[in-house]
Structures are given as structure tokens and as C-alpha cells.
Amino acid sequence: MSAQNPAGGPLLDGPADPEHDPRASYALEPEYAQNLTRRILASSGETAPVESPLNGQPVAHIPQSSDADVREAVARARRAQESWARTPLAERSAALLRLHDLVLDRQEEICDLIGVESGKARKDAFLELAHVALTARYYARTAHDHLDSRRVPGMFPGLTHVEVHHLPKGVVGIISPWNYPFTLALCDGLPALLAGNAVVIKPDSQTVLTALLGAELLEQAGFPRELWQVVAGPGREIGTPLIQGVDYMCFTGSTATGKLIAQQCAERVIGCSLELGGKNPILILRDASVEKAAEGTARASFSNAGQLCVSTERLFVADQIYDRFVERFVARTQAMTLGANLDWAVDMGTLISSDQLETVTAHVADAVAKGARVLTGGRARPDLGPYFYEPTILEGVTPDMTCFGHETFGPVVALYRFHDEADAVARANAGEYGLNGSIYSQDGSRARQLARQIKCGTVNINEGFGSTFGSLAAPMGGMRESGMGRRQGSEGILRYTDTQSVATQRGVRIGPSYGLSQEQYAKAMTLSLRLLKKLGRA
């Protein structure tokens, strides 16, 4: 494994001889890890070990936060937020633009750390930091569009003056998953900061260091250190004190956990956004370019070894091109390179854990036992690393099989043939998820029409997921059990604000005046309502 960090060389070059080098058994230099873990608010004295999924090498011991630590983190964040909310918007935006440059400048270090902690291919790690840069630039450049106070028409033109303000909620809690540990730790928090909030984040226990590197970059970009608090520990233990302390929750993870979070937020009547699971379909229409569809579908299904909320697990292919498509898709999939290293040459890295490997293995075994055919893949690859699994294409998947409707969250995709498009849309819409869908067709306007029938929060045409995910002005999130609320776009920042309307009444009051009785006032009101409608007022 080659792992160099140009910003200081903290990563070791693979296991060395522990007898001569006390740090040799660690995948990272202990000083590097400790420098990051110092940011965790943790007084319990307990630590949890983290291993690299690349090869099982120890990475670090992560200090664990107690309930009291979480409460203290929220209190510190609250204090920091008070002065941050008074910081001019131009200064907050400038810090985001500095973050943009920092993540690009330190990309080698970021990619190395993401690779060591999550085991993903370097190209997938790079997309994380690119997404953070895109998010930072978009919100920095559009801050005024979303956050400026605005005049709206009042009840009586000229007499009722109304302004609408977007006030920060206060402290935003973030619980993030392991699959995109850099961008999912940062991208939801950036608009929260820009809107004048503080953040307390609890990243997944397997990828805390990557989230901590994000926190370090935020501080270097100019955000006050206390404004972004990091706590660490099992979600089922410290999730509740976090939800009990904050003013809004942003959760990304499984639908099962999302429902628990939503219940706790409902108890406190605080808002939450939930970015949850999916069983995402691609429709390949009869006029699609087979070559482009095969290439795009392989990327959509096997990016990050399929551990991507918007990746594809169901492929509906038109009868007319089915055989040609399958041949190209299988060939492309078989040509993919797998590897446990931090090099650009790897197409697909490893699953992150034994739990993930178990789920993927069980889904494929269940499908095969019930009659599905494996067109390629279908095997774990312990020769490459402890949790590797081959990119796998299944045919003949039926509703009685687990992987028909349940999210696998791994490199497994099922092929289905269709005869007419209405039937394909109905099958794509079946089930309880509705996160991301795609359509391949050479007829853009027909595909766009069809897209409106797909019950997913995002639909990409001639691309798997990147077009919507990378278009920051476009809101992104799930329908049905794939979530509620949106990241990106105006929705992605306004969720962190409370809207306040301030109306100033001048001249006449809202009620009888100038000696009018209630009845005369009602008549005058009726006249004015009719007049305002005639004048075209909203």
C-alpha cells in the first residue's frame, strides 16, 4: 500500500516491523491521528479501536464521548453561535471559499485518509472532496439569494409594510454515515454555518478521523473552532442526548434509524431532515445508446462498491436491446479492477466491514438459492482484503428474494427485461423507497417526460446519479421512505432557518376605525377585497 501525504507525510507505507518501530502496526502515524482526535469532546477516558478495511490494520483509538460530553458540546456550540450569527454574511461566505481552496490544495491527504478509513477507491474519495468544494462555492456565491430579508406585499397596499427574515435556528445536530465520510460530514453543515448556526456532529464510529479532518479544515478556513463540535460514540447511545440538546437535526443513514430520529425530534417539536436508503432503478429505453448505458450503469452500480445511497440496484432494460446491453454491461463489469490500495488505478475498493460483507453475501446467496442466475461476480475476495466482494450482476430476481425490494447497499444489481415503458415505470416505482432514478434514452424530451412519472427525489437522464448530485442548485433528497427534506439548493439552507415575518401597520388599523361599526367595517372590507382582486393583487 502506498500512502504518502504531501502535507506532512503522516501516513505510513504499509506494515513494518513492530519490533523496531512501535508505530508500525498502525495504518497512520499515531501523532497524526492524535492530532485529529484531540478535537473530540470526550472526558470518559474510554476509547474505541478502528481498523482499516483495506487490510485490518489498526488505524487509531477513538476517544468516546459521554452524555455529559454531548451536552457540553452543545453548550459550547451555543455560545459560539451567538457571536457567529452577528458575523456579516460576506465574512461567512469568504470562509466557505477558503474551504473550497483548502480541500483542493490538500486533496492528497484527504484522499489518503478516506482510503485508509473506508477502503474506497481513490476516484471515489476524490469525488467526496469535489462535492465539498462544489457545495462550498455554491452556497458562498448564492448566500444573499437565500438569506437576505425581503419585502412581500402586505394586507393593505402602502399601509401594511411586511418584511420576511431568515433567522438561524441556533445549534444544528448532524449524524452522518460511513459511506461518504468526508462529504456527508461536511456538505450538510456548510449551509448551516452560512445561515448563522453552530453544528455538533456525530460521525459514524468507523470514519471519525475523516470527519475530524473536515473540522480541522473548517477551522483553517476561518470558522471559529468552537462553532463546529465533534462528538464520537455509538449512535444508539449518544444520539438521544444530541437530539435533546439541538434546535434541528440533520440525519443521513438507514431508514430504520431515520424513523427513530424522527420520533425523537417530534417529541421536542424540532425539525429534521432525513436522507435515507434507496433501491434505485435505471430504465434503459429501446433507443438508448447501448455503449453509453453500459458504461454509465457500471459506474452507477459499482461506485464506492455500491455503498452509495443513490447507486443503482435495479436495471430495467427494453426487450429490443436487452441482449446487446447485457453483453456490454457484463464485459464492462468484468474489466473492472479491484484493489486494496490508495492508487488511482483501482476501479472498486472494498466493502467497509464484516457486517456489510455479511449482508451482501446473504442477499446473493438467498437469490441464487431461489433461482437467480449470477452473470458475473457473486464471490467474496478474501485474497484482496478481508471484506472484498466482486461486482455482481443477477438475472431472474423474483419478489420472494431479499434483494428484490430490500436495499443491499453493496455491488449487486438485478436485471429485469421490459416490453412497454408504462410497465417499466410501474415496476421502478414499486416498493417503499424513492431516492434516485435514471433513464437512458437518445430522445431527451421523451426521457424528461417519463422522468416526471418516476417517484424519486432526483432523476438523472443519460447518467446514473452524478448530474443531480453535482448540481448544487438542484435540491436532493428522497420521496416516501427514502427521507424528507432536501439538501442542496434553497431548501438545503432554508431548513436551517426559522422564517420570521415582521409587519408594520400604518394609517388604518386592522379593525373598525374612524367611527365605523363592525357591520360598516365588514362592508368596507368587502369592497376593498373585490377591488384588490380586480387589480390582480395576490
Q: Report, as residue numbers or ranges, the catalytic residues.
A: 275, 309
Give 261 or 265: the residue with its C-beta nearer to ligand NAD. Answer: 261
Give 309 or 461: the residue with its C-beta nearer to ligand NAD. Answer: 309
Chain residues 469-498 in contact with ligand NAD, contact rule CB under 6 A: 478, 483
* Region near ligand NAD per CB under 6 A, out of 96-104, 269-277, 280-288, 296-304: 269-277
* Region near ligand NAD per CB under 6 A, out of 45-53, 249-257, 289-297, 343-351: 249-257
Contact residue for ligand NAD among 28, 111, 136, 276 (CB under 6 A) = 276
- Crossing angle of helices 208-221 and 107-118, rounded to 10°: 160
Q: Does 210 bind ligand NAD (CB under 6 A)?
A: no
Contact residue for ligand NAD among 175, 227, 272, 338 (CB under 6 A) = 175
Three cell numbers, residue 238: 449518544
Q: Does 278 bind ligand NAD (CB under 6 A)?
A: yes
C-alpha 380/C-alpha 153 separation (Å) is: 63
Chain residues 177-206 in contact with ligand NAD, contact rule CB under 6 A: 177-179, 184, 202, 204-205
As measured in angstroms, the least distance from the Cβ of 187 to ligand NAD is 10
Contact residue for ligand NAD among 48, 97, 164, 260 (CB under 6 A) = 260
Give 106 or 455: the residue with its C-beta nearer to ligand NAD. Answer: 455
Q: Please give the backbone phi and psi of residue 368, each rounded to the nearest 5 degrees, phi first.
A: -65, -40
Beta bridge mates, 35: none
Interstrand relation of 248-252 and 271-275 (parallel, antiparallel or unpaired): parallel
Under a CB-based contact definition with an 8 Å cutoff, are residues 167 and 202 in contact? Answer: no
Distance set, CA 475 to CA 422, 435, 488 (Å)? 26, 12, 5
Least Cα distance to 276 among 303, 257, 248 occurs for: 257
Contact residue for ligand NAD among 252, 273, 353, 460 (CB under 6 A) = 252
DSSP per-residue codes, 151-192? EE--SSTTTEEEEEEEEE-SEEEEE--SSSTTHHHHTTHHHH
Quick note: the x/- pattern for ligand NAD over 318-337, rule CB under 6 A, is: --------------------
Chain residues 349-408 in contact with ligand NAD, contact rule CB under 6 A: 407
Distance set, CA 219 to CA 177, 182, 298 (Å)? 22, 15, 38
Q: Does 53 bind ligand NAD (CB under 6 A)?
A: no
Quick note: the x/- pattern for ligand NAD over 426-445, rule CB under 6 A, is: ---------x----------
How many other CB atoms are there within 10 angstroms of residue 425's CB atom?
Answer: 21
As measured in angstroms, the least distance from the Cβ of 322 to ligand NAD is 28
How many other CB atoms are there within 10 angstroms of residue 359's CB atom?
Answer: 20
Give 209 or 321: the residue with its C-beta nearer to ligand NAD. Answer: 209
Cα three-residue angle 60-66-72, rounded to 5 degrees: 110
Under a CB-based contact definition with an 8 Å cutoff, are residues 108 and 3 in contact? Answer: no
C-alpha 460/C-alpha 482 separation (Å) is: 17
Three cell numbers, residue 131: 462535492
Let me know how many helices (H) and strands (E) the chain has, helices first: 19, 18
Q: Does 257 bind ligand NAD (CB under 6 A)?
A: yes
Least Cα distance to 52 among 18, 12, 103 occurs for: 12
As measured in angstroms, the least distance from the Cβ of 77 to ligand NAD is 18
As measured in angstroms, the least distance from the Cβ of 235 to ligand NAD is 2
* Region near ligand NAD per CB under 6 A, out of 174-182, 286-294, 316-324, 496-504: 174-182
Contact residue for ligand NAD among 63, 170, 191, 235 (CB under 6 A) = 235
Q: Does 309 bind ligand NAD (CB under 6 A)?
A: yes
Under a CB-based contact definition with an 8 Å cutoff, are residues 64 and 233 in contact? Answer: yes
Under a CB-based contact definition with an 8 Å cutoff, are residues 249 and 173 in contact? Answer: yes
As measured in angstroms, the least distance from the Cβ of 190 to ligand NAD is 15
Q: How many residues can be counted in the chain? A: 538
Least Cα distance to 344 among 113, 129, 108 occurs for: 108
Give 230 or 293: the residue with its C-beta nearer to ligand NAD. Answer: 230
First to last CA, the chain: 65
As measured in angstroms, the least distance from the Cβ of 494 to ligand NAD is 18
As measured in angstroms, the least distance from the Cβ of 279 to ligand NAD is 9
Least Cα distance to 121 among 352, 385, 303, 362 occurs for: 303
Contact residue for ligand NAD among 112, 216, 275, 347 (CB under 6 A) = 275
Beta bridge mates, 380: 389
* Region near ligand NAD per CB under 6 A, out of 2-10, 248-256, 342-350, 489-497: 248-256
Q: Does 128 bind ligand NAD (CB under 6 A)?
A: no
Q: Does 64 bind ligand NAD (CB under 6 A)?
A: no
As measured in angstroms, the least distance from the Cβ of 242 to ligand NAD is 8
Determine the 3-state secondary structure of 50 from DSSP. Answer: strand
Q: Where do contacts with ligand NAD occur on this chain (CB under 6 A)?
A: 175-179, 184, 202, 204-205, 235-236, 239, 252-254, 257, 260-261, 275-278, 309, 407, 409, 435, 478, 483
